[in-house]
Amino acid sequence: MKRSIRRTLLVWQVGALLLLGVIATGVTVLLAERTFEALRNIELTQIADAIARHGIDSETNDDPGDFLSQVWEADGTLAFASHSAEVPLPSQLGHYDFSFESHRWHGYVARYQGLTILVAREAGARDMLLERLLVPMLAVVIGLTLLLAVLTWELVGRTLAPLVGLQQELTVREPAALTPLPNEKLPGELVPLVETLNGLFARVENLLSAQSRFVADAAHELRTPVTAVKLYTQLAQRSEDDASREDALQKIQASCSRATHLVEQLLTLARLEPEAGHTPQPVMLSELARDVVVGQSALAEAKDIDLGIARSEDAQCLGHIDDLRVMLNNLVGNAIHYTPEGGQIDVSVLAGPEGAELRVEDTGPGIPVEEQARVFDRFHRLAGADKPGNGLGLAIVKRIADRHGATIQLANRESGGLAIRVIFPPAAQA
């Protein structure tokens, strides 16, 4: 069972409070016993002094003390007074406060067998006893509070030591160190955090690996047209007749076009890597399909391909119009690229229960089933393909579809060719 910061703090805090409570209770009882004992001794002394003064002339008493007693006869005549000055006869029985000889007194009046008896004590004596009890108690409370603060500081420091250790380990780590953090000896509350960090490290490592492969593949793809340009330039320089020079220049132009197209595709992928910072807007897919078909019609006519819109239903989705145009242009352009002369390409926009759908169907060679899962990888090209290309078109399509929450389905048509469906979820519909 893993350690728990919450359980450890609770156990230590409850234990510390119990310990301090026992200490405070013991000290309170001890101080109270001593204070009550002192109070009892003082009262007994004063009672004895008051009894001894009965029958003694009060004028000879130089130190009457803070205990006062007086006795009146039934007719109101003063029979005894512990002090030289007299307290007026109280009008009522019971406890009451009064002023006497510039001091405050608390007295009790009772009547016994016709005698009215007053006993009183100076309030200052009570305050003195309270002070004797209060000052030590305050000292004990302050001391116990400081002790509790020290224990809490030490407890929190020890309990949070694993978190501090984790923070220090992350601080000294190299940026490229993405190995998982150990979580065997961590408290239970930190395990989910460490597992989340390890998952983040794994995703970052996969991302860095994918970027490294992407850079390597891009460099490899760019090296081919650049090398061809260099080679054909040398051939053009060495050509002795105009025909050979013209042929070399045409090949240079073709290699430059291929490199330009590759750079444009790479820039498109780079622009799609960060998350979109713009708010999605409603996009009418039928209008988008019409614009793309019109834009690609010249390329289709050059190959005698029948490009058109087969179905156009009123469907729209929430998205980014520029990205969706790039996606559909790549799908249609890819279909034109692989469809032989005299073929047919149909673009459809459908609105169904599954969501809005873009569909592109051609009469080309199709894609083998075992290759369909990999055609969306960057720089992946079909084995034996004799068409020029860089393998980025469908990777861009997949990236844009993922950003819009859409799914892509590939299927070879029974009559020949390929059908690509891009289905937007109902939540993405405007």
Long-range CB pairs of 256-265, under 8 A, 24+ apart, other chains included: 256/225, 256/229, 258/225, 258/388, 258/390, 259/222, 259/225, 259/226, 259/229, 261/390, 262/218, 262/221, 262/222, 262/225, 262/390, 262/392, 263/222, 265/390, 265/392, 265/393, 265/396
Cβ atoms < 10 Å from Cβ of 197: 16
Q: What is the model's pLDDT at position 54? A: 58
Stretch(es) of the chain classified as CATH 1.10.287.130: 191-270
Cβ atoms < 10 Å from Cβ of 334: 21
Stretch(es) of the chain classified as CATH 3.30.565.10: 277-428
Q: What is the model's pLDDT at position 60? A: 45
Quote the pTM value: 0.48
Task: Give the architecture (CATH level 2) of 277-428.
Answer: 2-Layer Sandwich (3.30)
Q: What is the model's pLDDT at position 62? A: 45
Q: What is the model's pLDDT at position 273? A: 54
Q: What is the model's pLDDT at position 382? A: 59
Specify the CATH number of the domain 191-270.
Answer: 1.10.287.130
The Cα 286–Cα 273 span in angstroms is 27
> What is the dihedral sign for C-alpha 272, 273, 278, 280?
positive
Mean pLDDT by runs of 10 across the 430 residues of the chain is 70 81 82 74 68 54 65 87 84 89 87 89 72 77 83 80 80 80 76 84 79 65 71 81 81 76 67 59 90 87 90 87 86 88 92 86 87 73 52 78 88 88 74
The Cα 348–Cα 383 span in angstroms is 29
